[in-house]
Amino acid sequence: MRGALQHAAKIPLFLWNVGGAKFIGNLQRFPTHRGEISRRYTIRNMTMPHILSKQWAFLGLTILFLSGCTINRDIMFSTGDNFDFSPLEEMESSGYRIAPNDMLQFRLFTNKGQRLNQMTAGAPGGSEGGNQQMNQQMNQQGGMSYLVKPDGLIELPELGNIRLEGLTLEEAEELLEEAYASYYNEPYVILRILNNRVYIFPGESGRASVVTLVNMNTTLLEVLAMTGGIGNRANASKVKLIRRTASGNEVYKMDLSTIDGLDAANVVVQAYDIIYVEPLPQIVREATESLTPIASLISTLTFFYAFIVNPN
């Protein structure tokens, strides 16, 4: 009996079924330090017809890891490698066209250069849709603000509703001068869009801003300077200008990383332009963020695998 206990006696093979996977092993009996007999199940051989081999399992985990790592998730307005950018040489320079919800400053003069105060410095109520603060500012500058309604019409003194949507400022001024010629001798009109604004994304999180254009000939370089320049992690060689046109959005790409990009930086921006500076890749940081949940999953799977293969 003592000799039998010194050497673990092997019981015939048994079949162990766990989760559909079949394992063939031996039931061993051996003595403990107190002379008692305990039992241990050891796996001699495993047949797993429904489970991938170690190589395929490793490949599966690799694919799972890569699928969880999305580098540069904070890039907006992605265009892809084969995107057809609009040529800078063909950038429309005919000027911004009036659109609904534009706020126009309106000033009317006679042939002697005398401002018609009843039209350009009236009460705030004469400006439909304008707020009082803006009207007071326009009164100080010698003009009133009028809103272009959603249907493209604008209501002006004596003229009533007139359509200005789709016209440049020069075209709208000529149209209004012709309309007011029925009331005044050789009138001339000065229009200015008050809510001209562009959207700046300088390539760094938290620094996006909306810039109101005071001058009609503001350049891209000036707008970037107004917002403090591009961000620390911005890619100056990948600057996009997205412009809304009647035929759709035009996307222009510029490289401002060298002195050769100065000409591109001097393009005149228009209302509602989007200026987007692409951020530099942050592979280590983003890969680490993506790796954390995957590492937790791998650790859990490794624990269960080790427990099944060697329960001791």
Q: What is the mean pLDDT of residues 165-169?
A: 91
Span 8-17, pLDDT tens digits: 444 444 444 4
For 113-138, what is each residue's pLDDT tens digit? 666 655 554 433 344 444 444 444 44
Does the structure show a pLDDT above 50 at 181?
Answer: yes
Please calculate the CA angle 186-191-197 and round it to the nearest 5 degrees.
170
pLDDT of 291 reads 57
**pLDDT the model gives residue 207:** 78
- The tens digit of pLDDT for each residue in 57-98 reads 555 555 555 544 455 556 666 676 677 777 777 676 667 889
Across all residues in the chain, what is the average pLDDT? 70
DSSP state of 205: T
Confidence check: pLDDT of 304 > 80:
no
The pTM of the full predicted model, rounded to 2 decimals, is 0.55
243 touches 94 (CB < 8 A) = no
The residue-averaged pLDDT of 182-186 equals: 87
Question: What confidence category does residue 312 fall into, taking pLDDT thresholds of 50, 70 and 90?
Answer: low
What residue spans define the domains of the chain? 1-51, 57-71+284-312, 88-94+196-281, 103-193
88-94+196-281 CATH fold: Outer membrane lipoprotein wza fold like (3.10.560)
Architecture of domain 103-193: 2-Layer Sandwich (3.30)
**Fold match between 88-94+196-281 and 103-193?**
no
CA distance linking residue 53 with residue 48, whole number of Å = 9
> 199 with 244: CB under 8 angstroms?
no
